[in-house]
Amino acid sequence: MIGLSIGYALARSGVACVILDRTELGREASWAGAGMLPPRSEPSPGPVQPSVALRAWSARLYPEWSAALLSETGIDNGYRRTGGVDVAWTEAEEHALRTTAGRWRVEGIAFERLSPGDFGRVEPALNPDLRVVYYLPDRAQVRNPRHLRALAAAFASRGGSIRPSCAVNGFVARGDRVVAVQSEAGAFQADHVIVAAGAWSGRLLDGLGVRAPTPPLKGQIVLLRGDRPLLRRIVEQGKHYLVPRDDGRILVGATEEDAGFHVLPTAEPLRALTDAAIRLCPVLSEARVEATWAGLRPGSFDTRPYIGFAPGYRNLIVAAGHKRAGLQLSPATAELAADLVLGRDPRVDLAHFRIDREPATGEDVFRS
């Protein structure tokens, strides 16, 4: 998703790109996610933390990109401002939500804390025994497989070239420049090379002496479907979420597991996800299980992605390590990578995302 979004941003500026993917295009984390997007925000005037600026800009770009993709390709990517509820069962979860709500206020995100007895006004399926429910009318979603399809079609129609099943196996560097990318299909020469290979990025960069670990963080999802619409809003409770689609499907996510590159679903985590979903919305007990799958989110050495030139190279850009937030941050990450390729001043301070930064501690701005 990140690489394809960069390709689209560059193609819109008239830059010719080739995208290499080791498997079918976008079939790893990009495809696996549930498509949750954060609410639009209008941070107050004054200095804004770069992570907040990146998230807010991306949230603003989504409706613009979605409209442009629809008019360019005829593909509706499923961007919808369905609204969401963030809920708590325990005192600790309530405390965490209250802290988050303080940030929503500062960032200009619309929200309402619902009174007990009033949950059903916003989401009739919610368990009335929940301790706390916050309503976020601007929470949105996109159908990531459709967004991938729309990006690929728009990229190709602007002359971009996509090479699926074409694994990169090395680079040719001369001094401070990468002059070619070596792949199973031969070498590709380029003025700029961008590594946006998700959890596989760290290994690729190792070969160039660039240390940017992207440890995989496995996430499992269960896809439910009802015979009637069972849920209206996106529901979030800590790391659990329920994302209802227009067609009655509901994605239930997600685990966070350190399982190396193993990507098959497993029984116990799926049972825990399903139990948590039914507790949040008891009506889900009548839904059918349509599918299960897992994906590998790319981690970084802290809580932030890497976006910028790789240390020691003038034309090698890294855009990876977005962990749970790759989909939501993809448009703004793409615009920033395009800024670097085109020699423009990046529109967000990239010092914050440098690969050779001091690891960040205590930040939690990319929750869903």
Q: Which residues bind ligand GLY (CB under 6 A)?
A: 33-34, 36, 219, 253-254, 297, 324, 368
Provide the minimum distance between the beta carbon of 214 and ligand GLY in the complex, in angstroms, as a whole number. Answer: 14
Task: Indicate if the alpha-carbon torsion angle 339, 343, 349, 355 is positive or negative.
Answer: positive
- Contact 168/54 with Cβ under 8 angstroms? no
Between 36 and 87, name the residue whose CB sits nearer to ligand GLY.
36
Provide the minimum distance between the beta carbon of 33 and ligand GLY in the complex, in angstroms, as a whole number. Answer: 5
Taking CA atoms, 112 is separated from 83, 84, 102, 118, 137, in Å, by: 12, 11, 12, 11, 9
Angle CA 338–341–343, to nearest 5: 105
Between 33 and 198, name the residue whose CB sits nearer to ligand GLY.
33
Provide the minimum distance between the beta carbon of 365 and ligand GLY in the complex, in angstroms, as a whole number. Answer: 14
Between 1 and 152, name the residue whose CB sits nearer to ligand GLY.
1
Between 25 and 243, name the residue whose CB sits nearer to ligand GLY.
243
| Token representation of residue 101 | 């709500």
Provide the minimum distance between the beta carbon of 216 and ligand GLY in the complex, in angstroms, as a whole number. Answer: 12
Between 73 and 255, name the residue whose CB sits nearer to ligand GLY.
255
Provide the minimum distance between the beta carbon of 160 and ligand GLY in the complex, in angstroms, as a whole number. Answer: 26
| Token representation of residue 237 | 């409770």
Between 151 and 181, name the residue whose CB sits nearer to ligand GLY.
151
Closest CA to 24 of 115, 108, 149, 132: 149
Provide the minimum distance between the beta carbon of 254 and ligand GLY in the complex, in angstroms, as a whole number. Answer: 3
Taking CA atoms, 232 is separated from 81, 242, 323, in Å, by: 11, 10, 27
Exposure class string for 335-358: b at 16+ Cβ within 10 A, else e: bbbbbbbeeeebebebebbbbebe
Provide the minimum distance between the beta carbon of 220 and ligand GLY in the complex, in angstroms, as a whole number. Answer: 9
Closest CA to 141 of 228, 235, 27, 8: 235
Residues 6 or more apart whose CB falls under 8 angstroms from that of 125 comprise 230, 231, 232, 281, 282, 283, 284
Between 291 and 342, name the residue whose CB sits nearer to ligand GLY.
291
- Contact 346/214 with Cβ under 8 angstroms? no
Between 100 and 183, name the residue whose CB sits nearer to ligand GLY.
100
Q: Residue 37 and residue 327: Cα distance in Å, rounded? A: 8
Provide the minimum distance between the beta carbon of 361 and ligand GLY in the complex, in angstroms, as a whole number. Answer: 21
Provide the minimum distance between the beta carbon of 368 and ligand GLY in the complex, in angstroms, as a whole number. Answer: 6
Between 222 and 254, name the residue whose CB sits nearer to ligand GLY.
254
Q: Residue 347 and residue 53: Cα distance in Å, rounded? A: 9
Taking CA atoms, 148 is separated from 3, 119, 128, 239, in Å, by: 11, 35, 37, 24
